[in-house]
Amino acid sequence: MSEVKANPIPQGKYVPAARFGQFIVTAGMTPRRNGQLIQTGRVEKDAPLEQYKDAVRQAADNALTAAENQLGEGERIARVMSMTVYVNAEDGFTAHAKIADFASDFLSEELGDASPMARVSVGVATLPGNAPVEIQLMCGVE
C-alpha cells in the first residue's frame, strides 16, 4: 500500500469496510468517483462489453481502497479471498463473468499474486443509483 486514498463516500448508514482480526470485508462499491457515479444504466445484452470496463474498474478500485484503508502500519492485503460482482443486467444478458473479468484484471494489476480469488458474478434487476455494477471484496491481511 503505497498511496493512501480517501475512502469511497458511503451512500447510506454503513462503513466502507469492516475488519475483524486478519479479515476485511468491504461494503458493495459502485463506480463512484468523488461521490458521483461515473456511469449509470443497465448492462445491455447487445452493447460492447468494453463500454463498461471503466465503471467496473472504478468499482473494484473503490472496494480495494476501502479494504486497504483498514490496514495498519506494515500490513498488506495477502489475499483477496472472494469477490462478488453484481451486474445490473438487462433481460437476456448472459456475459456476467466477462464483466467480472474487468475487476479480476484490475485486482491482478494492483495486487499480483494476492488477487486470484473465488468469485461470483450475479445479475440483478437494479442497483443503487442505477449503477451498472457493484463489487464486494473479502480479503485476508498479513
Q: What is the 3-state secondary structure (H, E, C) of 43-91?
A: ECCCCCHHHHHHHHHHHHHHHHHHHHCCCCCCCCEEEEEEEEEEEEECC
Whether the per-residue pLDDT at 86 is higher than 70: the answer is yes
Residue 39 confidence class, pLDDT cut points 50, 70, 90: very high
> What confidence score (pLDDT) does residue 1 get?
46
The candidate with the shortest Cα–Cα distance to 133, out of 115, 118, 119, 121, is 121
Q: pLDDT tens, 1-17?
A: 456 688 887 878 889 99
> What confidence score (pLDDT) does residue 3 get?
65
> What confidence score (pLDDT) does residue 10 get?
81
Q: pLDDT tens, 48-59?
A: 999 999 999 999
> What confidence score (pLDDT) does residue 44 get?
98
Total number of residues shown for the chain? 142
Domains of the chain with CATH codes: 17-141 (3.30.1330.40)
